[in-house]
Amino acid sequence: PFLTLYFGVMGVLEGKSPAAIYQKTKDSFHQAWALSLLVWTPVQCVNLFFVPPQWQPFVVSSVNVGWKSTLSLLNQYHARGSKGEDERGATEMLVEELRTENTVLRTSLILLKAENDELRRSEKDRRWWQWW
């Protein structure tokens, strides 16, 4: 129940719809559950048999930091994987728009430099005649 609760709360915090939360939980749950068995079973066996009782909470807390990081990475992995081709296509379109805008800005810069040079020349000529 805690794993399902984790994915539910993360979905709510990300602002996802209930259907999207359900789908993400459905996609991620089994992988996270299998990973939890691989991590927590040996950790708890070592913890309960070899670690003194006063240090057991410290061991669980320490491993839990890595476990929460793993869940976060798993959650992010599924979030990125679901965007797929649509995001790549949108990114390529954005890159193309930025290239076009860059070309327009370069052209404008060249024209502004030419206008600036012309204004400097005319100002220099005007100042030269004013001295006489």
pTM score of the predicted model: 0.51
Q: What is the mean pLDDT of residues 85-89?
A: 63
List the single range of 26-35, 38-47, 48-57 with lowest mean pLDDT: 26-35
Q: Burial code of 33-63, b = ≥16 C-beta within 10 A, e = fewer?
A: eeeeeeeeeebeeebeeeeeeeeeeebeeeb
Work out the angle at residue 88's Cα, subtended by the Cα atoms of residues 86 and 94, and round it to the nearest 5 degrees: 105
Residue 20's contacts (CB-CB under 8 Å, 6 or more residues apart) are 11
Q: How far apart are CA 73 and CA 47, in angstroms?
A: 25
What's the domain range around 96? 2-130
Task: Work out the average pLDDT over 41-46.
Answer: 95
**Predicted pLDDT of residue 84:** 55
- In this predicted structure, what is the pLDDT of residue 51? 94
- Nearest 5°: CA angle at 90, between 12 and 109? 120
Number of domains in the chain: 1
Express as a percent the part of the chain with pLDDT over 70: 87
Whether 83 shows a pLDDT value over 60: the answer reads no
Average pLDDT over residues 41-55: 95
CB atoms near residue 17 (< 10 Å): 9
